[in-house]
Amino acid sequence: MAQRDYYEILGVERTVDAAGLKAAYRKLAMQHHPDRNDGCEEASARFKEVSEAYAVLSDAQKRAAYDRFGHEGVGGGGQGPFGRGGGAGYADVNDIFAQVFGDAFGDSFGDVFGGRGGARGGGPRRGSDLRYDLEIALEDAYRGTDVEISFPTTSACDTCDGTGAKPGTQPVTCATCQGAGRVRQANGFFQVERTCPHCGGAGKRVAEACGTCRGQGQVRRSRTLSLKVPAGVDDGSRIRLTGEGDAGLRGGPRGDLYVFLSVKPHELFERDNLDLLVTVPVPMTVAALGGAIDAPCLVSEACDGRCKAPVQVPAGAQTGKTIRIKGKGMPHLNGKQRGDLVVELFVETPSDLTPRQKELMQELALSFGEDQNPRNSSFAGKAKRFWADILGGDGDGPGASSSRESAA
């Protein structure tokens, strides 16, 4: 079943700012909260849908991924931000409600944001997904490449094996939630269950903290990975590295690392889907008489190794004419298909002529007939009709009538 658009769910435009987003969520959350609708299943489902939309759109990184890739960019497959550990730091819909309405229910509701909330019951929680932006050259996108990337991430503390407790000691049961990991608080018609603010949902607290991680069970360190960029990637392509994100909590699995690619503009080539476009200057004499020129191409199996592709220019070629060379464009990302190299000709007019060259050019110009300059003849006819319509007369051009009157 297709998922509804998050912006549509909240009834906001795609350009909405953070304040407008929160206001829309507040209104809909109050309207559909289960405690205000006697536990109605339809209201509960709507409340969860609204909360899921806000969980994604209120996080700048998740919102950017959603705007570009839709639901696939934030989990896809009907799997929203809850239960994946990456949804803006929220454990479930109650955590979101508590965060947004924290000022109405007291300061204790403000501690559920920022990844401290745990899964219901204090069980294992998946680590957060990470994003890495990588810029590559067009040549790398053309033939594929291997690169090393370094990024900060969380890992389980080696000293305490991720427990957060000083070696030789054990965590104790949390007195606030009695080991449940969740607490309830009532305010009017609302009954809000949230993550225990003292144990972070674990149900246990560290009596003596580990000196290395200071009781967190995790440490921040830099990781270096080798990444294979396949041939054919385009600007905006995404590579998912499963299990290379932040470490999970309480024995939960690691999140994923998403590498977003951007391709640097090239000084010679432009990309159009699988085709590569290049503009090549052509001497006027070659354009008039026809001849062979070399066009640049990128190194690949389809190239001769000299990065040159021979191009036969037909006689009478004009600026803007394109010549397509099959199979020398970009490779398809998931197949053997390859695009074309499209060469656009730019006819160069010679400059800094010598007196003799000017004389020869004038002789050449006088020798041309109308059929040898078809575009010029066609343009002259159109211009003559235009001036006739605007100025009247025979359309010889601006100033023609006054010139004839003066001569008379």
pLDDT digits (tens, 9 = 90+) for 359-392: 998 888 888 766 666 666 667 677 777 778 777 7
Amino acid 189 reads F
Residues 6+ apart with CB under 8 A from 187: 104, 105
Specify the CATH class of 269-348 in words.
mainly beta
CATH topology of domain 122-171+206-265: HSP40/DNAj peptide-binding domain (2.60.260)
- For the stretch 270-308, pLDDT in tens is 999 999 999 999 999 999 999 999 898 886 554 444 678
Amino acid 347 reads V
The better pLDDT of the pair 324, 106 is held by 324
At residue 183, the 3 state secondary structure works out as strand
- Average pLDDT of the segment spanning 169-180: 86
Given a cut of 60, is residue 399 above it in pLDDT?
no
Q: How many CB atoms lie within 10 A of CB 293?
A: 19
Given a cut of 90, is residue 342 above it in pLDDT?
yes
Given a cut of 60, is residue 85 above it in pLDDT?
no
- Average pLDDT of the segment spanning 74-96: 49
CA distance 133 to 53: 25
pLDDT for residue 298 = 84
Q: How many CB atoms lie within 10 A of CB 261?
A: 20
The better pLDDT of the pair 19, 163 is held by 19
Q: Tokens for 5, please give them.
A: 């658009």
pLDDT for residue 282 = 93
With tokens 């699988």, the residue in question is 274
Domain positions in the chain: 1-117, 122-171+206-265, 269-348, 368-407
**DSSP letter assigned to residue 280:** E
At residue 192, the 3 state secondary structure works out as strand
CA distance 319 to 281: 9
pLDDT for residue 115 = 37
At residue 403, the 3 state secondary structure works out as helix
CA distance 322 to 317: 10
CA distance 150 to 132: 9
Largest CA distance in the chain: 117
At residue 303, the 3 state secondary structure works out as coil
- In this structure, are residues 278 and 295 in contact, taking their beta carbons and an 8 Å threshold? yes
β 308-313/291-296 pair status: antiparallel
Reduced 3-state DSSP string for 311-336: EEECCCCCCCCEEEECCCCCECCCCC
1-117 belongs to CATH 3.40.50.150: no
- In this structure, are residues 307 and 298 in contact, taking their beta carbons and an 8 Å threshold? yes
Given a cut of 80, is residue 405 above it in pLDDT?
no
Domains 1-117 and 269-348 share a fold: no
β 322-325/341-348 pair status: antiparallel
Amino acid 86 reads G
CA distance 244 to 254: 7
Is pTM beyond 0.75? Reply is no
Summary mean pLDDT of the chain:
79
- In this structure, are residues 210 and 159 in contact, taking their beta carbons and an 8 Å threshold? yes
> What is the DSSP annotation of 217-236?
SEEEEEEEEEEEE-TT--TT
Given a cut of 60, is residue 105 above it in pLDDT?
no
CA distance 57 to 54: 5
